[in-house]
Structure 1
Amino acid sequence: MTQTQRNPGQWPDETRLAAWMQENVAGFQGPVALSKFEGGQSNPTFRVDAASGRYVLRRKPLGPVLPSAHAVDREFRVLEAMRKGGVPVADVHALCQDSNVIGSDFYVMDFVDGRVFWDPRLPDMSRDERAAVFASMNSTIAQIHSLDPDAIGLSDFGRKEDYLKRQIARWTRQYEAARTGPNPAMEGLMKWLPEHVPAEHPVRVVHGDYRLDNVLIHPAEPRIVAVLDWELSTLGNPIADFAYHMLSWHFSAALFRGMAGEDLAALGIPDERQYLEQYLASTGLDAPGDWEFYIILSMFRIASILQGIARRSQDGSAANADAAEIGAKAVPISELAWGLVRARND
């Protein structure tokens, strides 16, 4: 869904944007009309309707942002590489890092027609359609994790060593930079995680935020036509990336876009073990020795991300009006992760 009510703090200047696209996007013909995509808390995203067709613009938010966040230049680069590797993504046209155009970095890509679903239970689909969507999600992330970063021009897209340790350190820093109040569970996780890091898996490109609402489903068929929102992508441990994707199996619908407690077999959705085994068979990766560590790390990570949203809401720079409500979920998610840790010690 899109909305046309303008937020002067984030809405691009259409005249300057059209002039830039005329110079940088092949075949472009103006004028342009913008509408903002609803949902999401990261980079404000707009549909651009022009005489030459439909495009999508993703921009870095204005105002204070956390270190290393909202890197649209990296997102642009990985989209180019994924397209070459055969992963379903939108074609990108041009990147702008001149803040004089619309006030912050942005890039323009093709508009891909498709459906976005937020509820992983997919209540409007049949059992067979749900099964097909989950099979498509599984095979698509397996395809991403099967690519050799060197072969697609991403050998320098990130450091290749100690990914798990660096993730713990990064999200600890992000949380501390966005702290808005006490959270004993996060304090416990920041101490426990570095003490229980398992051996690394082979380095692959990791999406960083792969979940149902970050893929486009074909308008009429139960399959993925484009993977979205690559701003957190880097080189790293594919098992960690897959575990983050599988948080839907651990979160309830009320907590955060999950399906814990649902009758998955009746819905046509594979259970956690089945889904993991399918992925391992597709990628050829070894099964993790401590799968639960990856789930705990993933919960810690999303809690840190949500804490960043909470802080941006407090500072007035959040992309969406519901940022405070979304950000508040950092506390119960971190408590769920800490509960898993405590259960291991009982």
Structure 2
Amino acid sequence: MGETDPPGLDLARLRAHMAAERPGLVQGELAGEVIAGGRSNLTYRVTDGHRAWAVRRPPLGHVLPTAHDMGREHRVIAALAGTGVPVPPTVLLCEDPDVLGANFYVMDFVDGTPYRRREQLEEIGPERTRGLVLSLVDTLVELHTVDPGSVGLEDFGRPDGYLQRQLRRWGKQLDASRSRDLPGIDELQQRLTTMLPESPAPTVVHGDYRLDNVLVDERDRITAVLDWEMSTLGDPLTDLALIIAYSSPELPHIAGVSNVGEAPGFPGADEIVRRYAERSGRDVSTLDFYVGFAFFKLAVILEGIHYRHSQGQTVGEDFDRIGEAVPQLVRAGLNRLGEG
């Protein structure tokens, strides 16, 4: 590693690999910086002074490749190229960990803004905010319109029993983080288990679809959907429910939790759901289950962070307050499911 290399990215080795795999692509020495990181996969911006690329690799020190599968991310992005879903053009996938110490892939760097906070949306105003969120919904409809078999993704997941497996997965995550009494969380999990709806026909699902996982240009067009690490074949309504949950006024006010739903002009849940239903033709009558489940997942994720922080295993802005947010999310989930 050189002195100017960002953590986890040996620029000289990367350049040599890119030159070998794509002769003539790189014109000069590479410079790079981390543009996203933390608990998820790492993303870097790399440039030779003429062109720019994004490089994705697992978190540093992570030794469970199945949890951060670069091949899956690369596969779904490459498959969606040429569909109505905006994705960055892929350049190469490297599954030889000897190059950078982990598998990674390279794609063209796409310019755009990820809108993560209410204040960013306030700068563009209510009218543009509303249009942008409706465009987010329309892009999701495009994703859920893609026939997996037509783009080579027919074996990308196991859609049968998808909701049951998801509930089991997040229940196990909760059990692994239990360190205190959380009133209502077991009731929420149990009610979700007994309320399982029949899923519509499976589609490619993103798995973490929200406003700050897309890039937007100066004309408010979505230029790229990012962060496909949780994508699979499954129930499309789980993606729609995440938009509703992430923009809910019931979300706690702490760092790391989006507050875009508070921005003037941000469409309400009813308008978002109506837009999706009209454009997709899907029955959304059971959506309360999915939104309740989305709140359960968020509660489990934050409880895991709270547990690790309490054990001195992680640090971050407002991590000392994350534990306060979990009961709020549990209540939001129970409220969405209504009276038991």
Q: TM-score, normalised on structure 1?
A: 0.85
Give the CA deviation at 1:308.
Answer: 4.6
Equivalenced residues, count: 333
Contact residue 302 and residue 326 of structure 2 kept, 8 A: no
| 8 Å Cα contact 1:306-1:326 kept in structure 2 | no
**1:340 corresponds to which residue?**
335
Q: Deviation string for 1:255-282 (max 9, x for gaps)?
A: 521356x5x7xx3332211111111111
Moved more, 324-333 or 116-125: 324-333
- Alpha carbons of 1:321 and 1:154: their partners in 2 closer, same or farther (altered >3 Å)? same
Structure-2 residue corresponding to 1:159: 158
Structure 2 CA distance, aligned partners of 1:11 and 1:99?
Answer: 12
Q: Is the 8 A contact 2:296 2:330 kept in 1?
A: no
Q: Does structure 1 conserve the Cα–Cα contact (< 8 Å) formed by 2:42 and 2:59?
A: yes
Structure of higher RCO (CA pairs closer than 8 Å, 6+ residues apart): 1
CA drift of 1:40 comes to 5.8
* Percent identical residues: 36
Q: Distance in 2 between matches of 1:65 and 1:174?
A: 18
Aligned to 2:287: 291
Cα contact 1:188–1:338 (8 A) shared by 2: no
Separation (CA, whole Å) in 2 of partners of 1:145 and 1:268: 26
**Aligned-partner SS, 1:88:** coil
CA distance in 2, matches of 1:79, 1:230: 8
CA RMSD of aligned residues (A): 2.9
Shift of 1:190: 2.9
Q: Closer, same or farther in 2 for the Cα pair 1:280/1:335, shift >3 Å?
A: same
Deviation of the 1:286 alpha carbon = 1.7
Structure 2 residue matching 1:287: 3-state secondary structure: coil
Partner of residue 222 from structure 1, selected from 190, 212, 220? 220
Instruction: Calculate the TM-score normalised by the size of structure 2.
Output: 0.87
Instruction: Kindly provide the amino acid, as one letter, of the partner of residue 195 in structure 1.
Output: T
Q: Which runs of 5+ in 1 are unaligned?
A: none
What is the aligned partner in structure 2 of residue 271 from structure 1?
A: 268
Asked if structure 2 preserves the Cα contact closer than 8 Å seen for 1:62 and 1:317, the reply is no
Q: 1:322 to 1:14 in 2, by over 3 A?
A: farther
- 245-254 or 97-106: which moved more? 245-254
| 1:22 and 1:29 in contact (8 A); partners too | no
Asked if structure 1 preserves the Cα contact closer than 8 Å seen for 2:86 and 2:225, the reply is: yes
Q: Pick one of 9, 12, 16 that aligns with 2:13.
A: 16
In structure 2, distance between residues paired with 1:29 and 1:326: 47
Instruction: Mark the CA change 1:323 to 1:151 in structure 2 (over 3 Å): closer, same or farther.
Output: farther
Corresponding residue SS for 1:133: helix
Q: CA deviation at 1:134?
A: 1.1
1:117 and 1:338, CA in 2 relative to 1: closer, same or farther beyond 3 A? closer
Cα deviations across residues 234-272 of structure 1 (Å, max 9, x unaligned)?
A: 001111111012213324471521356x5x7xx333221
- Following TM superposition, by how much is the alpha carbon of 1:233 offset from its aligned partner in structure 2, in angstroms? 0.4
2 CA distance for matches of 1:325 and 1:222? 36
Structure 2 CA distance for aligned equivalents of residues 315 and 70 of structure 1 = 24
SS for the counterpart of 2:44 is strand
2:199 pairs with 1:206: no
The Cα of 1:304 is off from its aligned counterpart by 2.8
Question: Which residue of structure 1 aligns with residue 195 of structure 2?
Answer: 196
* 1:331 and 2:326 aligned: yes
Which residue of structure 2 aligns with residue 128 of structure 1?
127
Distance in 1 between residues matched to 2:147 and 2:266, nearest whole Å: 30
CA contact (8 A) 2:37 2:43 kept: no
1:139-150 correspondence to structure 2 within 5 Å: 139-150=138-149
Aligned 8 A contact 2:146 2:204 in 1: yes
Question: How far apart are the structure 2 equivalents of 1:329 and 1:338?
Answer: 15
Q: CA separation in 1, counterparts of 2:281 and 2:213?
A: 25
